[in-house]
Amino acid sequence: MAGMSIAWGAHVEQTDPIAEAKARQAAHVQFFLGDPQGYKGPEVRYAGGADGLRADAEAEGVGLYVHAPYIVNVATTNNRIRIPSRKLLQQHMDAAAEIGARGLIVHGGHVNRDDDPAIGFDNWRKAVEATDIKIPLLIENTAGGDNAMTRYLDRIKGVFDAISAASGAENVGFCLDTCHAHSGGIALESVVDEVRAITGRIDLVHCNNSRDDFDSGADRHANVDTGTIDPDLLAQVVRDAGVPVVFETPGGADEHVADFEAIRSRL
């Protein structure tokens, strides 16, 4: 029965998130608003617009999560990336709040190879100070990258220690990605306790298997039963975290439903 208390969902195509949720009998869905690789700003592709999406999701009881574009990097020392990233983060925050999303997920970003990571931690603090955080901002751990802010536990600690001094810090949470942790070199056996000890919270789990080996630094997701992570270990993370789960795994509704069941059956 333990599995019944966990809310399941998947990352879906953004045109009709509610239909995607229904196809999976999912409690919630995650999607992009616009181009995940572009600075153009968010767009709501739902036929009813932002207000329609909010109203229809509420009527159907479907939770919405928004993933910020991959290119957002508020930590970097490069002004030509950091400044547009902050602007884009605010635009997506505003748009996600407008549709009534439960959270906005953003990657931790990185500083340049030779930079002191402390600069990146402080840039995160400044970004939190500068952003009008209307719904929970969930920082996600990443799999690789030179001088990444949220690949390793000590770096995650650096970010959250810096953010704790910012006004708005209480609205910043954490999204734990199992593929990224495994590929990034964090043992899944203890990751939930270790992250909670650092951040005080885990708000969402991205339950993904990995096509690559432990500490490979590669970010390639796999379905629950096909990757290098023991599915029992994925289930343990889900159980330990006890928070809503999103699968960002390959395929469509059928594959996602199979992934839900693969974890649910192990709880």
Please provide the distance, in angstroms rounded to a whole number, between the alpha carbons at the two ends of the chain: 8
Task: Give the CATH H-level superfamily of domain 2-264.
Answer: Divalent-metal-dependent TIM barrel enzymes (3.20.20.150)
Is pLDDT at 1 greater than 50 in this prediction? Answer: no
The length of the chain, given as a count of residues = 267
- Please give the Cα distance from 9 to 7 (Å, whole number): 7
Of 74, 47, 89, the C-alpha closest to 162 is 74
- Domain locations in the chain as residue ranges: 2-264
According to the model, what pLDDT value does residue 145 have?
A: 80
208 contacts 168 by C-beta, under 8 angstroms: no
pLDDT at 4 over 80: no
Is the model more confident about 5 or about 104? Answer: 104
Q: What are the backbone dihedrals phi and psi of residue 6, each rounded to the nearest 5 degrees, phi first? A: -85, 135
* Torsion angle of C-alpha atoms 152, 196, 108, 204, degrees rounded to 10: 130
Rounded to the nearest integer, the mean pLDDT of the chain is: 96
**Ranges of H-type helices in the chain:** 17-24, 49-60, 79-98, 117-130, 153-163, 178-184, 191-199, 231-241, 253-264
For 204-249, the pLDDT digits (tens) are: 999 999 999 999 999 999 999 999 999 999 999 999 999 999 999 9
Quickly tell me which residue has 């009534």 as its tokens: 100
Distance CA 186, CA 215 (A): 7
Could you tell me which of 194, 209, 139 has the C-alpha nearest to residue 172? Answer: 139
pLDDT in tens, 9-41: 999 999 999 999 999 999 999 999 999 999 999
Integer angstrom CA distances of residue 124 from 73, 77, 121, 153: 9, 11, 5, 16
Q: What is the pLDDT of residues 148-172, one digit of tens each?
A: 999 999 999 999 999 999 999 999 9
Give the pTM: 0.97
- Binned at pLDDT 50, 70 and 90, residue 99 comes out as very high
Question: The dihedral of CA 118, 120, 123, 125: what is its sign?
Answer: negative
Contact 224, 249 (CB under 8 A): yes
pLDDT band at 76 (very low <50, low <70, confident <90, very high): very high
